[in-house]
Amino acid sequence: MMVTAGIDIGGTKTSAVLADVDGSVLATRTVTSGSGGAALIDGAADLLNQLELSSGLRAEAVGVGAAGVIAPDTGEVLAASGIFPDWVGRHPGNALATRLGRPVHLVNDVNAFLAGEARWGALRGVRNALALMLGTGVGGALLLDGQLYHGPRGSAGEIGHTPGYSHLDCTCGGVGHLETLASGRSLGLRYGELTGVTGLGGREVAERARRGDAAATSVFAQAASALAQAIVVATTMLDLTDVVVGGGVSAAWDLLEPPLTASLTSAPPVTVPLPRLHRASLSSTALGAAALAQPIRFEPIP
């Protein structure tokens, strides 16, 4: 049995899984992330070693998804948010390969998410797609002609920081970015502006929307409209057939999908068909990272 490992290095937690060729999770473990680049790398290596020891399994290869812009040719972290001190300039893949004594494939965490959905999840059999990760921020990744497309600097698909969606200030210092409307953080901020109730996150806003709160419902509709605009632009430019949505905000798919579909239908792409819309089907980015250690195997869409 071929076993691969996947590691998701996040700002607050690091997760690891061992998976077989069908994407079945054989073992998994999560720990609190360390602070600083060296601690993150050491913690990831120790986590996988402990997981293999406790399970009696050993992975032949390792995939790693990590936050930040990662150079596709060197594996260097080129940019990262402030919650990752001493991360920029590091080469986590090389460091982990040395620590673990086996091949390590490192990509941005949203690319790892997309790899998993293409290999084992909602995008099996799909060759051209956009992945959107709606969490604290908004991340994006591209599958083109059956391969993850990173771009020369590793930032291809990062649609969350493109402008034109609002007049609001973004956490990055820009104005009007998609992230100002479609992230979990922004759902809470927009709800607070409408109601005066502050300090809520996306989950709490979703709970209020399900109870019939008009302001909460409006916030989700606004997010869906912005996402539809982004999807139409990406689909038109790249001739994409499918879009998969993951991250914490996708847990409110019952609130997000209806207005998203309505917005796409009311203002569809002109030169290409509407893309198929999917909610992510896998349980973790770490499982997606495990797919990086295996080639994508295409299967017919049912």
pLDDT tens by residue, 248-283: 999 999 999 999 999 999 999 999 999 999 999 998
Q: Is residue 301 part of a domain?
A: no
Helix (H) or strand (E) run with residue 287 in it? helix 285-291
Q: Is residue 297 part of a domain?
A: no
Q: What percent of the chain has pLDDT over 90?
A: 89
Q: Global pTM?
A: 0.92
Domain harbouring 8, CATH code: 3.30.420.40
What does residue 114 show for φ and ψ, rounded to 5 degrees?
-65, -40
Q: At what angle do helices 214-238 and 202-210 cross, to 10 degrees?
A: 120
Q: Where are the beta strands (DSSP E) in the chain?
A: 4-9, 13-19, 25-32, 61-66, 69-70, 77-79, 104-108, 129-134, 138-144, 147-149, 242-246, 276-279
Q: Is residue 299 part of a domain?
A: no
For residue 144, the one-letter residue type is L
69/214 same-domain check: no
Q: Is residue 149 part of a domain?
A: yes
Q: Where are the beta strands (DSSP E) in 3-146?
A: 4-9, 13-19, 25-32, 61-66, 69-70, 77-79, 104-108, 129-134, 138-144
Residues in the chain: 302
Q: What percent of the chain has pLDDT over 70?
A: 97
pLDDT tens by residue, 209-241: 999 999 999 999 999 999 999 999 999 999 999
